[in-house]
Amino acid sequence: MFQNPFSFEGRIRRLEYCLSQLIYLCYVFAVGFIFGAIGLIDDTESPKNSLTILIAILPGIYFLWAQGAKRCHDRGNSGWYQLIPFYGFWMCFAPGDTTENEYGDNPKLPKQYYDPFAVDTGSDGTGSNMVLVEPIDDVDEDGIIKEK
C-alpha cells in the first residue's frame, strides 16, 4: 500500500483511496494549525496569506489528484473522471474492476512469481509454460529461509 503515492500510473483499492483522503485532511488541518500558531496567517482576506496557504497545500493537492487518478484507473476510467462532482465520494464505495484492465493488474490479487530456472516442457514440448512459485514469507533478517 502507498507505493508511489505521487504517481498517476497504476491502480489502488478503495481502502488506500479513503486513507489518502484522511491523510490529506490531516495534512490540511496541520498546515492551517501550524501557520496559525506561528502567526503566518492573521487575516485570511490578504492575498499574501492566500498564496502562502496555496503553496503549502500544493503537495497535498498533487498527492490527492494522483491517488484519485489511480482509483479511477481501478474502476476502468480515465483519471479525469475525478473532476465530476461527487465522483470522489462514489469511488470510496464502488468496487474496482476484478480483472486486469488497460491501467494494470487488479491490486486485490496476490502477486504471482515465476521461477526463472525451472524447466517445464509444457504439453507441447516447447518449454513455453512457466512454473508458478509461491512467495516465501518465512525469511529471517539475514535473508535465510526459516525451517517449518
Residues 72/73/75/78 CA torsion (nearest 10 deg): 60
User: Pick the residue with more confidence: 93 or 122?
Assistant: 93
pLDDT at 66: 95
pLDDT at 52: 82
Amino acid found at 130: M
pLDDT at 115: 60
Which residue ranges make up each domain of the chain?
Answer: 14-91
In this prediction, residues 54-67 reach a mean pLDDT of 94
Largest CA distance in the chain: 77
In this prediction, residues 120-148 reach a mean pLDDT of 64
* pLDDT exceeds cutoff 60 at 110: yes
pLDDT at 71: 93
In this prediction, residues 36-49 reach a mean pLDDT of 71
In this prediction, residues 124-140 reach a mean pLDDT of 62
Q: Would you place residue 86 in the very low, low, confident or very high pLDDT band (cuts 50, 70, 90)? A: very high
